[in-house]
Structure 1
Amino acid sequence: MTYDPKNPHYDPYTAPPVYDNQPVTGGGYPDGGYPDSPQQQGGYDQYAYQQQPPGPAYNAAGYSPPPMQMYQAPENGSGTAALVLGILGLVGCGLCAIPAVICGHMGMKKADQGLADNRGQAQAGLIMGYIGVAFLVLALLYVVFMLVMFGALASSSTTSY
């Protein structure tokens, strides 16, 4: 039934009207239930205990999916340490860049020998460590240059009263 704006007493939750004056019944089955139901056969279901034929095997087409591999944590602590120290060396603590270079070289050596499986982390830590060392050297050169400039200015200025 659709909404009728002319009929303000429309209630969508009521049952639809019956037009043929016939009572609504519960179903079209005879009083005994479904035909050939287990109740009519004395309560025994002849299909319940029948043995089912086996279905096709899982690998019937010859396809075997690759085995599922679980993630393994890296076995190289030096590579992970190089990565963490390299990030810290870039972010602002330039002194962490020197140990990042050392741990990066150790981690790459272990990965080359087959003792570790995270060569990429060691290599990334090594690269970030070298960049951090370069920033550290540039910062030290800037500080030395500024000290020399202020020293030269201080010695050349004469104070006369």
Structure 2
Amino acid sequence: MSHPTPQDPFEPTTPLPPASPPPYDAPPSYQPPPYQPPADSTTPFPPQPYAPLPYEQPYSGPPATGKGPADHLAYPQSPAGYPQGGAYPPPPGYAPMATGPATSGWAVASLVLGIVGVLIGWCTYAVIPLLAVVFGHIGLNETKRGQKTGRGMAIAGLVMGYLVIAVTILIIVIVGSLGFMGEFDTAP
């Protein structure tokens, strides 16, 4: 007895379409109908050709005699014996922009650390404001010698750094004194 051959599950049961698509039939090109004037030709203004304008002559420039309507706008004539003046001299080239001394990086760092110290310096035991004070003094020395600019930034960083350090020390003293006093007030 013969067994039927099993069919492959991956082979399609219907034949596949051809690999290339059928040729494309282009639609016939569109030809618009020719223009037909309306049957009712009672238009109120029929088209008429334009008449030539009386002033259609090529422009020949200003009059050479100096008696034209815009003579008051012309350059004044040079006196005899002097060279004929013309246009203004050409503008000079652009000069490079003058640059001053650079800004002190220490002053910028002091300002940034002073701002950060005011915002979160209370949590860092005044380490960030202490750096702001140190960098501020270095930046202040650079600006005193005239090497660099940024004196205002260095001073602002110093002020904020010292302010945060003072408040931090005040908080430590107050909390410490309260804790110290609370230790003696305990009753058995």
Tell me, in whole angstroms, the C-alpha distance in 2 between the residues paired with 1:27 and 1:153.
114
Looking at secondary structure, tell me which structure has more helix per residue: 1
Indicate the structure (1 or 2) with the bigger Cα radius of gyration: 2
- Over aligned residues, Cα RMSD in angstroms? 3.5
Q: Which of 116, 119, 130 lines up with 2:162 in the alignment?
A: 130
Q: TM-score, normalised by structure 1?
A: 0.57
Shift, 1:149, TM fit:
2.6
- Amino acid across the alignment from 1:89: G
- Amino acid across the alignment from 1:105: H
Contact 2:117 2:164 (C-alpha < 8 Å) held by counterparts:
yes
Could you say which residue in structure 1 is the equivalent of 2:52? 29
Tell me, in whole angstroms, the C-alpha distance in 2 between the residues paired with 1:148 and 1:28.
111
Task: Compare 145-154 and 75-84 and name the one that shifted more.
Answer: 145-154
Shift, 1:153, TM fit:
2.5
Secondary structure (helix, strand or coil) at the match of 2:185 reads helix
Shift, 1:110, TM fit:
0.7
Secondary structure (helix, strand or coil) at the match of 2:149 reads coil
Flag the 1:74–1:137 CA change in 2: closer, same or farther, 3 A: farther
Tell me, in whole angstroms, the C-alpha distance in 1 between the residues paired with 2:49 and 2:178.
98
Tell me, in whole angstroms, the C-alpha distance in 2 between the residues paired with 1:24 and 1:72.
74
Shift, 1:113, TM fit:
0.8
Flag the 1:104–1:35 CA change in 2: closer, same or farther, 3 A: same
Could you say which residue in structure 2 is the equivalent of 1:110? 142
Secondary structure (helix, strand or coil) at the match of 1:90 reads helix
Shift, 1:56, TM fit:
2.9
Could you say which residue in structure 1 is the equivalent of 2:105? 77
Tell me, in whole angstroms, the C-alpha distance in 2 between the residues paired with 1:128 and 1:100.
8
Which ranges of structure 1 fall in alignment gaps of 5 or more residues? 1-20, 38-45, 48-52
Could you say which residue in structure 1 is the equivalent of 2:177? 145
- Amino acid across the alignment from 1:90: V
- Amino acid across the alignment from 2:52: Y
Flag the 1:26–1:108 CA change in 2: closer, same or farther, 3 A: farther
Flag the 1:88–1:36 CA change in 2: closer, same or farther, 3 A: closer
**Percent identity between the aligned chains?**
25
Tell me, in whole angstroms, the C-alpha distance in 1 between the residues paired with 2:150 and 2:130.
20
Flag the 1:26–1:116 CA change in 2: closer, same or farther, 3 A: farther
Runs of 4 or more above 6 Å deviation: 70-73
Contact 1:79 1:108 (C-alpha < 8 Å) held by counterparts:
yes
Which ranges of structure 2 fall in alignment gaps of 5 or more residues? 1-43, 62-84
Contact 1:95 1:136 (C-alpha < 8 Å) held by counterparts:
no
- Amino acid across the alignment from 1:136: T
